[in-house]
Structure 1
Amino acid sequence: MTTAPVLPIVTGVDGSVESLDAVRWAARAAHLHGAPLEIVYALDFSALLAGGVVPPPEEMKDVLRIRGRRYLRAAAELAAAQGVPEVVTRLDPDRAAQALIDASRKASLLVVGSSGHGKLTGLLAGSVASAVGAHASCDTVVVRGDTWDEPGAAERPVVAGVDGGEASTRILTAAFAEARVRHAPLVVVHAAADEPQAREPDRAALADAGHRLLTERLRGHDTEGVAVEEVVVQSHPRRELIERSATAQLVVLGTRGRGGFPGLLLGSTGQALLHNAACPVYLVRGA
């Protein structure tokens, strides 16, 4: 009896500090899950087309290849230091987002970096993160913040946002898997939007309904070895998850909420977390 090969965790590198953070996070995740790691550098030859049609001279392509190989060597050495079992590097002629989306078709997880606000590089990194989060064929992690790399960060919980939609089962499956391999507690959050004028009995009824929803969604999941805390709050989901990200090592949510529609590939909560979370964000792809 043969076993199916373990799909790799894929990450991209572009020489920035943010992409090297993504490599370190991806390498540690590969070590925890016993998965190989694939590191991609996108050459983006299309950006060199003169007038949009004339191909660049081969010398310019060679410069990009040399730079890419240098970045990949440095990233592979960084990954190996994290204990990853196997590292493969690859140059891709396409643009960064498309190269990573293509690679996600044969990956178990896609990991990208995201820089802060107010910088052109941050805007570019944000566009790649949003694109792969919306279009990747596998789950995506966007590595944000610095807290995940601090001493004691491994003791922080994994936080999962559950709204009761059809994606809740997949979100909880991913959240339990991450909490289990990290030996971390799991906080499952159901947040309903604020209703300032709601009467106290109505708030109590909403809270009861939220607890019943979480109990139902958690039923069938193997909780052995994972300390689970259920949290029901009257708050906007994006605000609640952003606040909890400050004391979490990972936030897990779906790419589209219960109120989403087919054209909304990455919901408002996901977009808010990509730009404001204080820790890495794990986006569980839609069905």
Structure 2
Amino acid sequence: MRILVAIDGSAEAAAGLEWVAGLPLSGADDVLLLTVLKPEDAPGRARRVHERHLELLLRDVWATRRDEARRLLADASAAGAMWSARTRQVIREGHPVAEIDAAARELGADLVVAGPRGRGAVPGLLLGSVTGSLLGVLDRPLVVARRPVALPDPILVAIDGSPAADAAMARIASYAWTARAVITVLVVAAGRPGRSLAGALGRSVADQDRQDAGRIAAEAAERLAATGRAATPLVVEGDGARRIVETGARLGAGLLVLGTRGGGGFPGMLVGSVAQRVVATARRTVMVVPPDASSQGGGAPGLVT
């Protein structure tokens, strides 16, 4: 397994390192520590002769930031010295979102790990709302790690029968570290259509929603059970994002897993911006899986350092 961890020296970004440290990794796994230097103050921007003094100053600043980035990665590597996994360091220059996405593709990362809202300790490093933007561009799972960091067990997987939900299920089943985890498969039924209709018709619609949700959850739990994982189906009603977060808290889940761009048939299920809302409001670690993630990862071993 190859895990790309984006770090910037902030306490929030360090949560990603702590989360990875809790995984049962082996010597066959790779942890890639990535820091991105933003280009605003890079040398080479001075164009006129009288700006050359600025060019020299920028070169000094840039060299200092690269040295600080190297020290940051060295400290992170030292913190992970107890891991069985191999640890490598990567420094890239450019826009953080684009560079994290490119690094994940080029390095064949199976998983990208980041903090919720990095505030770089070194000026010019990974800053701002990078994590939120990554949700819209990555083609592989993103783990948004939060403190206090808990082991990824138990796991709550929120699904809706969409391709995105299927991808989330496939990913969870593919990770060796989920083999012994207690997994709950959650489907959120709307619970609203029945109340918007009168009498027996409304009750019939609501009952059908619950039955369909129960079937989806049960079938998903059976698929996980077939891989040797302990999975229990669960159906709740209400707003998708709120109920996912509430259920995760009630179960004491160490990890919430859901797909992006879900297209489920229930208004209360995993659709639209639910993933963003869960990431923004959950007080625990969240894994977000895009629909095409099942075919990604495991690329070439070459590294850019």
Please list every run of 5 or more consecutive structure 1 residues that lacks an aligned counterpart in the other structure: 1-5, 117-123, 261-265
| 1:18 partner amino acid | E
Q: CA deviation at 1:224?
A: 4.9
Identify the residue that residue 232 of structure 2 maps to in structure 1.
Answer: 229
One-letter amino acid of the structure 2 residue matched with residue 93 of structure 1: E
1:47 to 20, 25, 40: 40
1:257 matches 2:270: no
Structure 2 vs 1, CA of residues 281 and 158 (structure 1 numbering), >3 Å: closer, same or farther? Answer: same
Relative contact order, higher structure (CA 8 A, sep 6+): 2
Structure 1 pair 220/84, CA: closer, same or farther in 2 (3 Å)? same
- Residues 27 and 180 of structure 1: CA distance in aligned 2, closer, same or farther (over 3 Å): closer
Superposition pairs of residues 1-287 of structure 1, within 5 angstroms: 6=1, 8-29=2-23, 31=25, 34-44=28-38, 46-48=39-41, 57-81=58-82, 83-105=83-105, 106-115=108-117, 127-146=129-148, 148-149=149-150, 153=151, 156-178=153-175, 181=178, 183-195=180-192, 196-197=195-196, 199-218=202-221, 220-246=223-249, 247-258=252-263, 267-287=272-292
In the TM superposition, residue 33 of structure 1 has moved relative to its aligned partner by 9.4
Deviations 1:42-90 (A, max 9, x none): 111x22169x776672111111011101111111111223x24200011
Count of residues in Structure 1 that have an aligned counterpart in Structure 2: 263
Residue 121 of structure 1: aligned partner: none
Instruction: Call closer, same or farther: CA 1:93–1:49 in 2, change over 3 Å.
Output: closer
State the Cα RMSD in Å: 3.0
Q: TM-score, normalised by structure 2?
A: 0.76
* Deviation at residue 276 of structure 1 after TM alignment: 0.7
CA distance in 1, matches of 2:92, 2:128: 20
Q: Which residue of 1 aligns with 2:299?
A: none
C-alpha contact (below 8 Å) 2:25/2:85 kept by paired residues: yes
Code of the residue aligned with 1:186 in structure 2: it is: I
Whichever of the two has the greater Rg, that structure is 2
TM-score normalized with structure 1 length: 0.80
Distance 2:291 2:46 in 1: 36
CA distance in structure 1 between the partners assigned to 2:275 and 2:86 by the alignment: 31
Q: What secondary structure does 2:129 align onto?
A: helix
Partner of 2:121: none
1:99/1:190 Cα in 2 relative to 1: closer, same or farther (>3 Å)? same
What CA deviation, in whole Å up to 9, does each residue of 1:78-123 have, x standing for no partner?
1223x2420001111123222211111121110010149xxxxxxx
Structure 2 CA distance, aligned partners of 1:62 and 1:49?
A: 9
Task: Tell me the amino acid that sits aligned with residue 159 of structure 2.
Answer: V
Would the aligned equivalents of 2:28 and 2:85 in 1 still touch at CA under 8 Å? yes
Q: Is the 8 A contact 1:142 1:280 kept in 2?
A: yes
Structure 2 portions without partners, runs of 5+:
48-54, 119-125, 266-270, 293-305
Give secondary structure in 2 for the equivalent of 1:253.
strand
- The one-letter amino acid of 1:47's match is E
CA displacement, residues 181-222 of structure 1 (integer Å, 9 cap, x when unaligned): 362211101102231446444332221111222334445445
Amino acid aligned to 2:247: R
Structure 1 residue 178 displacement after superposition: 4.9
Q: CA–CA distance in 2 between the matches of 1:200 and 1:279?
A: 35
Return closer, same or farther for 1:193/1:32 CA change in 2, 3 Å cut-off: farther
Amino acid at match of 1:74: D
- SS of 2:22 mapped into structure 1: helix
From the superposition, tell whether residues 66 and 273 of structure 1 become closer, same or farther in structure 2 (CA, over 3 Å). Answer: same
